[in-house]
Structure 1
């Protein structure tokens, strides 16, 4: 089992260009349909909505199934913030002995946890070279195969 959950060489810097997209005032029912009201609340800039620290933010695509119980699937786009301090339970991008992986940080037991029962935790004894590259602040899950 490879520890890497990323396509090699696919670190993508956060977008510097601003692009506003429409955000509708009404929420969409995920249960029974509700009558749609076609009122535009405002335009939304996804950078303003998702990126708190532009100079410390990058995107990377997930690969593999080790985080599916947290809704992170193969090919999803992860937004990673390098300026945040890692805390217990954070979803992190970590370099373990030079290999990148996306896992849940377990500081109490010094390990990285998958979010899939089929995968095993990665123990972090003192001799393991661990670098937390950043915290996964958000992710985008595609419902249609990307690229479309």
Structure 2
């Protein structure tokens, strides 16, 4: 369900399915030479249980832009955001800044707070008292298409 669309992010509310899950083979997948699998342990894997720790405070948002490519967040990736987590230094956060949502790495020290992009083509954003600023949530996972 679409909740909000801004210039940089599109927010969705996750729909939790109680009995969802897909087959999961807990054997590891070799990225080198193939090896014969002697025994397969099939289980059910729920991405809801894996990615969402607090369903009332979790939202999805789709990235729009290139400012966080160095952190592995590419255009059109889907972010899992937990609003119940405390913001802290070096966390990747979704922030509301002067009327617009953005995703950046939080930098906090004795001199202040700033939002650090992970792309050298973008400048850090210092947060001042003049800004309308709030940390909206902390990014916990990113879902990519391959």
TM-score tier after normalising by the smaller chain length: 0.7 to 0.9
Match of 1:5 among 5, 8, 13: 8
Q: Give 1:41 deviation, angstroms.
A: 3.8
Give ranges in structure 2 of 5+ residues lacking alignment: 1-5
RMSD: 1.7
TM-score of the two chains, using structure 1 as the length reference: 0.86
Report the equivalent of 2:78. 77
1:141 equivalent in alignment to 2:130: no
Q: TM-score, normalised by structure 2?
A: 0.87
Displacement of 1:36 in angstroms is 4.8
Distance 1:36-1:105 versus aligned 2 partners, 3 A rule: farther
2:54 corresponds in structure 1 to 53
Q: Which aligned runs of 4 or more in structure 1 are off by greater than 4 angstroms? A: none
Give yes or no for the alignment of 1:124 onto 2:127: yes
Alignment map for 1:82-101 (pairs within 5 Å): 82-101=83-102
What is the deviation of 1:33? 2.6
| DSSP-derived class of the 2:141 partner | strand
* Contact 1:61 1:75 (C-alpha < 8 Å) held by counterparts: yes
Q: Deviations along 1:102-131, whole A, 9 cap, x unmatched?
A: 000011141000011111111101211111
CA distance in 1, matches of 2:83, 2:30: 34
Distance in 1 separating the partners of 2:36 and 2:100: 47
Aligned to 2:3: none
